[in-house]
Structure 1
């Protein structure tokens, strides 16, 4: 027996604030029913001895040591800046007077 009915799909459409045509309701009823059936099949084989995974292979972050390297001088940093003042980048104000 199907768990997904056209009335349920219409109700879900209302909750999601999506206006569905009758053709869409019929199509989504079938599609959602297939999805629910597939989830049920997976649930049958998901036993407590099967470890849940989000990836088929273990993932591991690889970090390099955070070692400071050669630094640029202020003049090197600002040499290609379109505008600079007082050893800083000069940019157009983006905030209104309320700030």
Structure 2
């Protein structure tokens, strides 16, 4: 199956079905059939033409090939990580600080009611 990635995004050795099949027994034989695509379409509640079924079968099979290529990568000795770079919390400390006086806020509001700012209904 040809790679569906644009020409500039293809990686040599990772896009051919033969390479993936020999490198990854985990996802071997994962090409989708017409029935698989129709089943997925039924689950998604979408109708597909015959041309669309074939086009999506090819595209989804290509996506599975990419997963097979990832599964074929040797990750022995690679420590699992959630993020490749160290992160620091950039939020400030939660400290109570003085705010605007309530009377000033209510005086500037277009509508008030019982000491609160009244807003017009958004939903009917």
TM-score (norm. length: structure 1): 0.75
Give the direction of change, closer, same or farther, for the CA distance of 1:62–1:46 in structure 2 (3 Å limit). Answer: farther
Q: Quick one: distance in 2 between partners of 1:37 and 1:3?
A: 8
What's the secondary structure of 2:108's corresponding residue? coil
Cα offset for 1:63?
Answer: 2.2
The alignment's TM-score, normalised by the length of structure 2, stands at 0.62
- Counterpart in the other structure of 2:104: 76
Residue pairs, 1:3-42, within 5 angstroms: 3-42=31-70
Unaligned runs of 5+ in 1: none
Per chain length, whose mean CA-contact separation is higher, i.e. which structure has more relative contact order (CA < 8 Å, sep 6+)? Answer: 2
Change (3 A) 1:2 1:67: closer
C-alpha deviation, 1:58, in angstroms: 3.4
Q: Pick which of 4-13 and 22-31 moved more.
A: 4-13
Number of residue pairs matched by the alignment: 96
Instruction: List alignment gaps of at least 5 residues for structure 2.
Output: 1-28
* Mapped partners of 1:89, 1:46: distance in 2: 61
Distance 1:46 1:77, change over 3 A: farther
